[in-house]
Homo-oligomer: A and B are copies of this chain.
Amino acid sequence: MQLLEERILKDGQILGDNILKVDSFLTHQVDYKLMKAIGKVFAEAYKEAGITKVVTIEASGIAPAAYAAEALDVPMIFAKKHKNITMTEGILTAEVYSFTKQVTSTVSIAGKFLDKDDKVLIVDDFLANGQAAKGLIEIIEQAGAAVEGVGIVIEKSFQDGRQLIEDMGVKVTSLARIAKFEDGKLVFAQADA
């Protein structure tokens, strides 16, 4: 997605060896126009898939997922990273290991929002090690629903998340793919959409 790659080059900050900070338009401050455009590209990529739900994980995935849901005209569900006193019945969970934080957390979705007829598009802001997406796939499959694809705003292609998800038999659609960081600059790989 050219608009996104241009925005990353313009406003993204490279910290250290392999951290890209995009907090001015995606992960902290959010540019709704870009999110809307991103939602439309995801919807276009999955327009033949009969998507019935968009699933993401709190918090940075919510804005792009909401606009993808709008473009597909379906509900969006955001998985919870923390337990909640009002989540009591039929909770589906998966353990997600964070390599950056070196902790395992429990991600959950109320089972009543997914059923075996659902065709789900997962949307998330970043794909690096793929642990969050893997956890979401596990939860959706526990519900007997089908995962039609994983839509990613920014993929770190030098990490193994994409391979992990594809090895689970799930298609990955990344709008920007970072091949590597070289001399403090980003090198993109060919994006999927």
- A contact set with B: CB distance below 8 Å: 15, 19, 21, 23-24, 27-32, 35-36, 58-59, 62-63, 66-67, 69-70, 75-78, 80, 85-88, 100, 109-110, 113
Taking a contact as CB atoms under 8 Å apart, the answer to whether A30 and B63 are in contact is no
Taking a contact as CB atoms under 8 Å apart, the answer to whether B113 and A70 are in contact is no
Copies of this chain: 2
Question: How far does the alpha carbon of A85 sit from the alpha carbon of B15 in the complex, in Å?
Answer: 10
Selected contact of A66 from candidates B28, B66, B85, CB within 8 Å: B66
Question: How far does the alpha carbon of A36 sit from the alpha carbon of B70 in the complex, in Å?
Answer: 9
In the complex formed, the residue of B with least CB distance to A101 is B85
Taking a contact as CB atoms under 8 Å apart, the answer to whether A29 and B113 are in contact is yes
In the complex formed, the residue of B with least CB distance to A114 is B29
Taking a contact as CB atoms under 8 Å apart, the answer to whether A69 and B28 are in contact is no
Residues of chain B within 8 A (CB-CB) of A109 are 28
In the complex formed, the residue of B with least CB distance to A69 is B32
In the complex formed, the residue of B with least CB distance to A113 is B29
